[in-house]
């Protein structure tokens, strides 16, 4: 499915490094919605996609902890970028790791 900026079928951005969890999330979304999905597995890829699509996503699902980003850096940095360049305010941050001392 292709995506054109400004169309009704804005993609859903999924940032998740765990292949099992990422594929499960994509599968569940595809069963319920016909939105295009963009699944990336690193902080760097997420920044590239946000720049490419000018943060024009239906929703962004972000993993809190990625191998190429400090704990919490991903969600804080990407939320700032998304909110600065877009009216999108639908961001969900997920994590299966519980740690004290999140950086903010």
Is 100 part of a structural domain of the chain? Answer: no
Is 1 part of a structural domain of the chain? Answer: no
Q: Which CATH number characterizes residue 86's domain? A: 3.40.50.2300
**If you ran DSSP here, which 8-state letter would residue 24 be given?**
H
State how many domains the chain has: 1
Is 27 part of a structural domain of the chain? Answer: yes
State residue 102's pLDDT score: 54
Cα separations (Å) of 26 from 4, 57, 83, 84? 20, 15, 24, 26
User: Containing domain of residue 83, as a range?
Assistant: 12-94
Burial of 47 (0-12, 13-18, 19+ CB in 10 A): middle
pTM (2 d.p.): 0.75
79 bridge partner residues: none
Instruction: Give the position of tokens 């765990």.
Output: 18
Instruction: Give the position of tokens 């740690």.
Output: 99
**3-class SS shares of the chain: helix, strand, coil, % to 5:** 35, 15, 50
Provide the residue-wise pLDDT of the chain in tens; the chain has 104 residues: 444 555 568 899 999 999 999 999 999 999 998 889 999 999 889 889 888 887 778 888 888 778 887 766 666 676 666 666 556 567 777 777 655 555 55
Is 66 part of a structural domain of the chain? Answer: yes
**Rounded to the nearest 5°, which phi and psi values hold at 21?**
-65, -40
């Amino acid at each position: 499915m292709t995506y054109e900026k400004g169309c009704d079928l804005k993609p859903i951005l999924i940032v998740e490094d765990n292949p099992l969890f990422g594929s499960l999330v994509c599968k569940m979304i595809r069963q319920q919605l016909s939105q295009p999905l963009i699944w990336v597995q690193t902080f760097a890829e997420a920044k590239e996609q946000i720049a490419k699509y000018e943060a024009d996503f239906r929703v962004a699902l972000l993993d809190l902890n990625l191998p190429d980003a400090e704990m919490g850096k991903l969600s804080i940095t990407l939320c700032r970028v998304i909110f600065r360049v877009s009216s999108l305010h639908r961001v969900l941050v997920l994590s299966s790791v519980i740690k004290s001392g999140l950086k903010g």
